Amino acid sequence: MTADPTTSPPSGVDPNTPSIARVYDYYLGGKDNFAADRELAEQVLLVAPNARATARANRNFLVRATEAVAMAGIRQFVDLGTGIPTSPNVHEVAQQIKPCAHVAYIDNDPIVLCHARALLAGTRPGVIAMEGDVRAPEQVLDHPRLRAHIDFAQPVAIFLVAMLHLLTDEDRPEQLVKTISERMAPGSYLVLSHLWDDPDGVGRAGADAYARRKASSPVVPRTTEQIQRFFDGFELVEPGLVFLDQWRPIEDMINAGADDRLCLCAVGRKP
Ligand SMILES: C[S@@+](CC[C@H](N)C(=O)[O-])C[C@H]1O[C@@H](n2cnc3c(N)ncnc32)[C@H](O)[C@@H]1O
């Protein structure tokens, strides 16, 4: 928050440790960040000047992908690593196309949960927000609250958008995606974006800034091949694994020459 110094942060929130969710909020022009978050973001912007544009391109990808899977008939959405609520969010886009859509927002940052609950509390039919750590996928996906909301016997869209690059190789992200995909019924979709390990080393330089400032989680860019492997067992829908702005761009983006190259993204369908 361009935080009010007269109020203390919500319980469990450490304003001195840069939080991935709050740094991302800063890139997106939000107000839910502290000085430590802004300082880290500014360090990243020195080595990756496009970070703000990438954050916006990532949100826009998430919106276009939500529209695409809702149009393809999906009525259940599980957004893992959801971030501080930003409009339009998954439920706004999905429920415009499928008013009966059920959406579950899951994140492990207390500030995300605090905002999500305040925003959604009892007012949004079909939407829940829960605490959960993607590194314990069974615990998250088998949680009774999620199970009461999402029927995994039916197709579901799982979002891991700008999320897996927050897990180290020791967290075994490939295995984790496999565990999640085993819960998904045929006809389900995986929506994913990921920081790219680019040949110029921009992604790595940004990741180093997060490490130096001891952010709430590390940032790990990965190669095209590594990101592609998350989709093992899925059929990529058109246009496949591409840069954020290349995924089904709308006319305005093409006219504006949008061409962000820091993150790769794709949508896969489970056959
Ligand atoms: C960069 S933000 C992306 C938000 C949103 N998915 C988007 O693309 O706009 C990453 C989010 O993942 C959350 N996160 C990081 N590690 C997590 C974990 N192990 N389990 C659940 N959420 C996590 C962070 O708190 C943050 O809100």
**Distance from Cα 255 to the centre of ligand 1, integer Å:** 31
pLDDT tens string 253-262: 888 877 888 9
The CATH topology of domain 53-199+219-269 is: Rossmann fold (3.40.50)
**Distance from Cα 163 to the centre of ligand 1, integer Å:** 5
Task: Check whether 2 has a pLDDT greater than 80.
Answer: no
Per-residue 3-state assignment (H helix, E strand, C coil) for the chain: CCCCCCCCCCCCCCCCCCCHHHHHHHHCCCCCCCHHHHHHHHHHHHHCCCHHHHHHHHHHHHHHHHHHHHHCCCCEEEEECCCCCCCCCHHHHHHHHCCCCEEEEEECCHHHHHHHHHHHCCCCCCEEEEECCCCCHHHHHCCHHHHHHCCCCCCCEEEEECCHHHCCHHHCHHHHHHHHHHHCCCCCEEEEEEEECCCCCHHHHHHHHHHHCCCCCCCCCECHHHHHHCCCCCEECCCCCEEHHHCCCCHHHHHHCCCCCCEEEEEEECC
- Amino acid 259: pLDDT: 81
Atom of ligand 1 nearest to the CA of 86: 9
pLDDT tens string 197-230: 999 999 999 999 999 999 989 999 999 999 999 9
Q: Whose CA is nearest to atom 24 of ligand 1?
A: 21
**Distance from Cα 5 to the centre of ligand 1, integer Å:** 26
Mutating to test ligand 1, I would choose from 108, 161, 180 the residue with most ligand atoms within 8 A of its C-beta, which is 108
Taking alpha carbons only, the member of 30, 44, 36 closest to residue 15 is 36
Atom of ligand 1 nearest to the CA of 135: 19
pLDDT tens string 84-124: 988 999 999 999 999 999 999 999 998 898 888 887 766 67
**Distance from Cα 21 to the centre of ligand 1, integer Å:** 6
Q: Whose CA is nearest to atom 27 of ligand 1?
A: 83
Spell out which residues line ligand 1, taking CB within 6 angstroms.
20-21, 24, 58-59, 62, 81-83, 107-109, 112, 133-135, 161-163, 166, 217
**Distance from Cα 181 to the centre of ligand 1, integer Å:** 19
pLDDT tens string 167-189: 999 999 999 999 999 999 999 99
**Distance from Cα 108 to the centre of ligand 1, integer Å:** 7
User: Six-digit token pair at 93?
Assistant: 């886009």
Kindly report which listed range (5-19, 153-167, 201-215, 222-236) carries the lowest average pLDDT score.
5-19
Buried b (16+ CB within 10 A) or exposed e, 111-142: bbbbbbbebbeeeeebbbbbbbebbebeebbe
Identity (one letter) of the amino acid at 252? D
- Amino acid 4: pLDDT: 47
pLDDT tens string 15-70: 889 999 999 999 999 999 999 999 999 999 999 999 999 999 999 999 999 999 99
Question: Which residue ranges make up each domain of the chain?
Answer: 53-199+219-269
